[in-house]
Amino acid sequence: MKRPPNVQLTHVGVQVRDLDQMIAFYQKTLGLVLTDRGEYYLGGEIAFMSRNANEHHQLVVASGRRDDPETSPINQISFRVDSLEDLIVYYKNLLADQVPIQRTITHGNAWSIYFFDPDGNRVELYCVTPWYVEQPYGIPIDLNAPIAEIMKITEDLIKDNPTKITQEQWSNQLKAKIFN
């Protein structure tokens, strides 16, 4: 069996009861910086936090956690791959293995595949794009398309977004927040 492309655990997302309390806790105790916050597509709000200027988020907290013991507080477990080419390899492997895919999207700053593990935990595989746009942002994308087309579609989708900057510019801005 051929080994799949490199993948690294980069962040976890959790459902929380009190979003503001959790943001304040992680800012104070771990020095995380709020990188983005907005309306969540499942309802409520979502916040992205990091202490690494090269990672948009290392922790994601989303409102809406229920006290139901059957409901997992895990929103998602996310793994970063090295390139769009590697992401497409994983996409094809998931399809070949008949793993049900929840969705494939562009976040503007990343391309992602979402699916569930055998216990029902949501897993994200993603790679970064050359751009940043304010999060949350998610538009469906066809990972069967050629790479050049995926890049063009993504760039066209975000070209008029007033928050669009390069990943490098965004990283430099985050460095200033982390180290000040």
pLDDT computed for residue 1 by the predictor = 65
CA 49 vs CA 43, 46, 105: distances in Å: 19, 10, 21
Asked if residue 82 is part of any domain, the answer here is yes
Inside any domain, residue 164: yes
**Assigned domain for 99 exists:** yes
- Residue 125: how many other CB atoms lie within 10 Å: 22
Residue 95 lies in a domain: yes
Between CA 158 and CA 36 the distance in angstroms is: 17
CA distance 89 to 49: 29
**pLDDT per residue as tens digits for the range 72-115:** 788 899 999 999 999 999 999 999 989 999 999 999 999 999 99
Both tokens of 162, joined, read 């007033």
Residue 37 falls inside a structural domain:
yes
Phi/psi of residue 12, each to 5°?
Answer: -130, 145
pLDDT, residue 178, reads 86
Average pLDDT in the chain: 92
| Residue 1 in domain | no
Cα separation, 178 vs 171, in Å, equals 10
Residue 146: inside a domain, yes or no?
yes
Q: What is the pTM of this model?
A: 0.83
> 127 falls in which pLDDT band (50, 70, 90)?
very high
Residue 61 belongs to what domain range? Answer: 7-178
- Which one, of 89, 84, 81, 61, lies nearest residue 73 by Cα? 61
Span 15-21, mean pLDDT?
91
Asked if residue 172 is part of any domain, the answer here is yes
CATH code of the domain in which 127 resides: 3.10.180.10
In total, how many domains does the chain have? Answer: 1
pLDDT digits (tens, 9 = 90+) for 147-162: 999 999 999 999 999 9
